[in-house]
Amino acid sequence: MGKTFWMLVTTQENLDITRERGFNMQGVDSKNRKKAVRMGPEDRVLYYVSDKKGFAATATVISDSFEDDERIWKHHRDEETFPHRVELNPDVVLEESSYVDAFQIGPTMEYVKKWPPHLWPHAFYGMLHIIPQRDFNFLEAELRRVKGESGTGETESPEQAAAESADAVEGAVSKDYVYSESEPEKRGKRLPVARKNRKSSYRRRNQKKK
């Protein structure tokens, strides 16, 4: 199976705990067990900080999912220990003051299109989400840009990429139906509608002769 791109929703307090540990491990709550057990090596993780409304970091999973009840992160329910865990390597990590603003980026994400425009923040409810690779790549490029890492270049937003993809599909369809007198064999025949009209006219002429 190919790699999966995850968005992990956490609090600033718990992100600080993960940061202090060097982003070497991440736990997922019991409610998201079915998703958490699917995490594996080479998966990518994007961190969203719910109480700061910002994207803070990316990391790469380097282990299979495992269970551990050691209390590391904090939760309002004492029995929650975030037992479903994976080991990580950090990729891009921003300071709190530099988080990428979700109110600017969030509404443009392909992932949030499942929700009505005015309810896009609902897409971030729950701790663990599978997001499109396009969203992940765009946001990681933004994190790198904010951090000032070189070699990232300009990256188009998910909306721009989707629009260009639609234009490409429309262009491809148009080419399939364009008739070129200079290259009849390469371009194909005339429109199916035109062929149908010619056949209909032929039948009408035959009927008149009879």
CATH of the domain at 106: 3.10.590.10
Structure tokens of 28?
């997922």
With a threshold of 0.75, does the pTM exceed it? no
The span from the first CA to the last CA of the chain, in angstroms, equals: 66
Establish if 86 belongs to a structural domain: yes
Condensed to tens digits (0 to 9), the pLDDT of residues 5-37 reads 999 999 999 999 999 999 999 999 999 999 999
Report how many domains make up the chain: 2
Establish if 55 belongs to a structural domain: yes
The range of the structural domain enclosing residue 14 comes to 5-162
Establish if 168 belongs to a structural domain: no
Establish if 38 belongs to a structural domain: yes
Condensed to tens digits (0 to 9), the pLDDT of residues 121-173 reads 899 999 999 999 999 999 999 999 999 975 444 445 555 544 443 443 343 33
Establish if 63 belongs to a structural domain: yes
Establish if 203 belongs to a structural domain: yes
Using DSSP, how many helices (H) and how many strands (E) does the chain show?
7, 8
Same domain, 107 and 65: yes
Establish if 170 belongs to a structural domain: no
CA Rg, the chain, in Å?
26
Same domain, 184 and 153: no
Same domain, 56 and 132: yes
